[in-house]
Amino acid sequence: MAALKINRTDFILALTSNAGDWDEAWFLDKETGELWLNNDGDDEVPDDLEDNPRYLPIEAMASRDAFQIMEDFVDELGDSPEAEALQAALNGRKPFRRFKDALLDYPELRDSWFAFEETRLNRLAQAWCDEQGLAVAWI
């Protein structure tokens, strides 16, 4: 069986979206690799999207998993002022927003953070496909 071609960027968007909060859901077409966002505003979505086994629902990653990625990044910084500042952001209210705001104070870390996050999300995307038994060729 040939590997399914899936756009990695779009798949990660589906995996990290909180679409479920808005009565929307992402699906993967196991035959074409196409991603579908099932919402009320899209007339092009297949009618049998939710009932046909050809389409796999993509459950968005839990916020605790996204939080863990941030914590792992901070752990890799060791004992440093930057790590302390980012950890303080994670310990406060609205940790996702505060973490991103704290990174603005350390522009040299921003690129490292984005590379770290991308690597982790790529792994999660691959793990999801592996769990589904899908051979994937990322595009």
pLDDT tens track for 77-116: 999 999 999 999 999 999 999 999 999 999 999 999 999 9
pLDDT confidence of residue 95: 97
71 and 109 belong to one structural domain = yes
pLDDT confidence of residue 89: 97
71 and 111 belong to one structural domain = yes
Residue 15: C-alpha distances to residues 5, 88, 103 (Å): 16, 27, 23
Domain span at 20 = 4-60+133-138
40 and 8 belong to one structural domain = yes
DSSP assignment string, 15-41: HH--GGGGT-EEEEETTT--EEEE-TT
37 and 79 belong to one structural domain = no
pLDDT confidence of residue 91: 97
Could you report the per-residue pLDDT of 36-84, keeping only the tens digit for each?
A: 998 766 678 888 998 999 999 999 999 999 999 999 999 999 999 999 9
Q: Which residue has the higher pLDDT, 72 or 22?
A: 72
Domain count for the chain: 2
80 and 120 belong to one structural domain = yes
Q: Is residue 1's pLDDT more than 70? A: no
pLDDT confidence of residue 50: 87
**Rounded distance, CA 20 to CA 41, Å?**
15
Specify the pTM: 0.88
67 and 119 belong to one structural domain = yes
